[in-house]
Structure 1
Amino acid sequence: MVSLNYSKQRSREYMKSGCSFVWNATNTTKQMRQQLINFFAGYRARIRIVYLEVPLEEILRRNRERAAAVPEAVIQRLANRLDIPDITEAHQVDRIAG
């Protein structure tokens, strides 16, 4: 697992050189996303959020098939706190059913 500090350092390098990159993370609340958005905005990055909308039942099914499953109580807690991203958070927000 890559550390957050390492990921931020790499993204800093990409932003300084003008390279596009993807930050792949499960940021279920607006507050969690805002920390990263502020970081990226500090480098004047163009921010695009891609929200993959999958029914909870499907998420739980896929999780059960994983070698290292996340406890279902954790997934339920995250789902209960979910803030769906909106256009006020980024230059572009894509909502994809999956």
Structure 2
Amino acid sequence: MRAEKSFVWNATNLSRQLRSSLINLFSAYQARIRIVYLEVSWEELLRRNHSRAANVPEAVIQRMRDRLEVPDLTEAHQVDWVVDS
């Protein structure tokens, strides 16, 4: 950020509160903030998880889904929602 170069922060930030700490940091550097929210169906999510070498227990995924707060337009300069089946 100090070098004023574009970068991608790839992370799962389930809640607005988690995202806000990062957004506040980026804003302090006058960064242009873009959130890309990616979503697949529950069935596809489980299929992909089961095909991983080190999968995440389904109960953990369910808890994460229950805590999810989908980003909205007030959180960044740009918010893109990418929904795949």
TM-score (norm 1): 0.82
Aligned length: 84
Task: Show the counterpart of 1:82.
Answer: 68
Query: What is the RMSD of the two structures over their aligned residues, measured on CA atoms?
Result: 0.8
The answer to whether structure 1 residue 18 and structure 2 residue 31 are counterparts is: no
TM-score (norm 2): 0.94
Structure with greater proportional helix content? 1
Give runs of aligned pairs for residues 14-93 of structure 1, distance below 5 A. Answer: 15-93=1-79
Which ranges of structure 2 fall in alignment gaps of 5 or more residues?
none
- Segments of 4+ moved more than 2 angstroms: none
Structure with greater proportional strand content? 2
Deviations 1:8-37 (A, max 9, x none): xxxxxxx11111000000111111111111
Deviation at 1:97, TM superposition (A): 1.2
Q: Which has the higher contact order (CA 8 A, sep 6+)?
A: 2
